[in-house]
Amino acid sequence: MQKHSILGLPFFVGPLQEALQATLNGALVIAPSGPNLANEFRDLPAYRDAVQKADVVLTDSAVMVAMYTLATGKKVPRHSGLKFVQAIISCEEMKARGGILWVMPSESEAIAIGNWLQTQGFHIDDTNVYVAPFYPRGDIQDFDLLEKVHHCQPKVIMLNLAGGKQEVLGAWLKSQLSPPKGIVCTGAAIAFLAGTQAIIPSWADRAGLGWLFRCLYEPKKFVPRYWQALPLLSLVWKYREKMPPAVF
């Protein structure tokens, strides 16, 4: 599997199909956002530990990729969480009954996204949907979710939750499951496709403009969030392939 170090993390830079196969083989897949890399990666021990345990780290942050190229002259492919979820939606093997356990952030999102998934050929019912409780910032464990996984035995667990928390939950699940199952932490990407959050056209995602569409859709929430990602520019410029020190 082709990987390239940025900020000390082994980002996946190979063909997306290879990452999809790794997921089916039990990989933990994450797509760390710019704000999370700029902040939680340095000041939240549970998050820092979780991202280092991932098997596939997607180059989701367009800002990180652009700044790394500017700082080093080296080009790396950008694999967004949205692009990866689109690959999962198109994978017939994933559509097998019981193939995926969908972990949703709320009952309303579960209903809306579930309805959309059914139009894409997925079977959705109470057996393969789990509505997550509110998780605190820091260490996360969910034994109810673990019991659900043991009961329905999916090939893949899709964590459609907030960044900074889903990765911690994913790493904990990975430590609890044997044999391993694919665990995908792509946050709101599925909501973009289902239309429950800002709809991001494929061309905008390829151009790295997903953040702009989110800011225009819900400025009070996302403008401050992406403003917090600005320290990522200096981190990538200074540390490049090396891992920045923790500040906790």
Give the other-Cβ count within 10 Å of 84's Cβ: 23
User: Residue 34: what residue type?
Assistant: G
Whether residue 54 lies inside any domain: the answer is: yes
Query: Contact, 149 vs 175, CB < 8 A?
Result: no
Whether residue 4 lies inside any domain: the answer is: no
Whether residue 103 lies inside any domain: the answer is: yes
The pLDDT of residue 56 is 98
Query: What is the tens place of the pLDDT at every residue in 30-49?
Result: 999 999 999 999 999 999 99
Whether residue 19 lies inside any domain: the answer is: no
Domain hosting 197: range is: 30-239
Query: Contact, 58 vs 30, CB < 8 A?
Result: yes
Query: What is the tens place of the pLDDT at every residue in 98-108?
Result: 899 999 999 99
The pLDDT of residue 68 is 97
Query: Contact, 169 vs 144, CB < 8 A?
Result: no
The pLDDT of residue 217 is 84
Q: Which of 121, 110, 105, 86 is nearest to 201 (CA)?
A: 86
Predicted TM-score (pTM) of the model is 0.94
Whether residue 140 lies inside any domain: the answer is: yes
The pLDDT of residue 205 is 84
The pLDDT of residue 214 is 84
The pLDDT of residue 97 is 80
3-class SS letters over 182-199: EEEECCCHHHHHHCCCCC
Give the residues of the chain that fall short of pLDDT 70: none
Whether residue 190 lies inside any domain: the answer is: yes
The domain total for the chain is 1
